[in-house]
Amino acid sequence: MRGIAGILRRDGGPVPQKWGKILEQSLLLGGTLTFRFEDSTPIEHGDLHILLFSGSDALGSDLKVVDGDLRGECAYAMWNEETLELELGRKGTGQKSLYWLDLAEVGDGLLFSSNPLPLLTIARELELPSSTLSQGVEGYLQDGFVMEGGGLLAPLYSMPIQHKLENAPTSTTTLSCDFTTTPAEDVQTLVRILGTPFANADLLSTLQLYRYAKEIGCPVVDGLIMPQSTGLLKRLFNSKQEEKQMAIQRNASRRMELGAIANYTGVDLAISTQCDSIEPIPFPLASWLRSSQSQLGQLASDTLHSSNAFGNLPINQSECIKKLSAHQSGEKDNAQELFTLLTLALWSQLVGA
């Protein structure tokens, strides 16, 4: 998986080896690390430490690590050895994500990564507070996606995008293939490469179709126009402006979802703002979750019944198990709710691992 990550510590304190390993492992998903830079510079109190990782080579004479193309879609980090300054940025239309964690009261410095998961793991280890976690969980369950810069990812910050105009393609790519991988494995893979939970089960299809496109050497044009997401709670809008703003936020999240999957599979991706998303592969989500014989059904049952399945998230585990039992017995179709909760639980367990 391509991406960038790094650590800057300016208070003279040491950089724990574990932090570097956590960031490095996040870039090794589905690929190999091709660039690592580490240096220490004497300052007034101890040493300043800089550590940079990239899934691609550093560029030019400056120490610059880039995820993407500097002329278009990219996230980048540039270290100036003379001024001892680190510049972070994102350019394009938002397909490349970049998050950073302020060390705040535990030290002068920051950590950054294309994937929020390793930063959240370190934040949990440092016991950095997240006063908006409950609000973030509620928003995810209600809206069906993780909002960029929202409460679920606090205390992380999302790097603002320097917008570039795009020439939107006029049609999406047509792809047709069968499932050739295990849905249970793909759910876990998606949580890892997105670094967030996700309620849209069609991303399983996206992962499969992008893999297929890579196999046949086909670049992909995907779209942003999607059916309205169904969360656990019904979303009510007080105004057209509020509805429009939510659509903008959903599209921002979807760009990063599609970008992360394209990065992982290695397929060339363009995203159209004017077209429907690629027709998903139909799959029986409700049947998979109902059957204890299916690997996805077994994963859901094992996860939701596991001890402290949701960690410190404000989720009533016994109510989730009731939903699962009602679905398995055929009393009620809770497939969408169960899938939403399953990815949330898997994500929470990875953050706390």
**Spans of all domains in the chain:** 4-128, 285-351
- In the prediction, which pLDDT does 240 show? 80
Rounded CA separation 32/35 (Å): 9
- In the prediction, which pLDDT does 59 show? 57
Rounded CA separation 246/147 (Å): 9
Beta strand 85-92 with 109-113: parallel, antiparallel or unpaired?
unpaired
Beta strand 99-102 with 157-158: parallel, antiparallel or unpaired?
antiparallel
CB-CB contact of 110 with 98 (8 Å): no
How do the pLDDT tens digits run along the chain, 353 residues long?
A: 579 999 999 988 889 999 999 999 888 876 666 788 999 999 877 889 999 998 776 555 568 899 998 888 999 999 998 899 999 999 999 999 999 999 977 778 999 999 999 999 999 999 888 888 999 999 999 989 999 888 999 999 999 999 887 777 778 999 998 887 789 999 999 999 999 999 999 999 999 999 999 999 999 999 987 655 445 555 666 678 877 888 889 999 999 999 999 999 999 999 988 888 999 999 999 999 999 889 999 999 999 999 999 998 999 999 999 999 999 999 999 999 999 999 999 999 999 87
- In the prediction, which pLDDT does 58 show? 58
Kindly provide the b/e burial profile for residues 27-63, where b requires at least 16 CB atoms within 10 angstroms of the residue's own CB.
bebeeebebeeeeeeeeeeebbbbbbbbbbebeeeeb
- In the prediction, which pLDDT does 229 show? 47
- In the prediction, which pLDDT does 274 show? 82
Structure tokens at 108: 């002068």
Question: What would you report as the CA-atom Rg of the chain, rounded to the nearest whole angstrom?
Answer: 21
Rounded CA separation 114/101 (Å): 12
CB-CB contact of 302 with 187 (8 Å): no
Helices (H) and strands (E) in the chain, counts: 10, 12
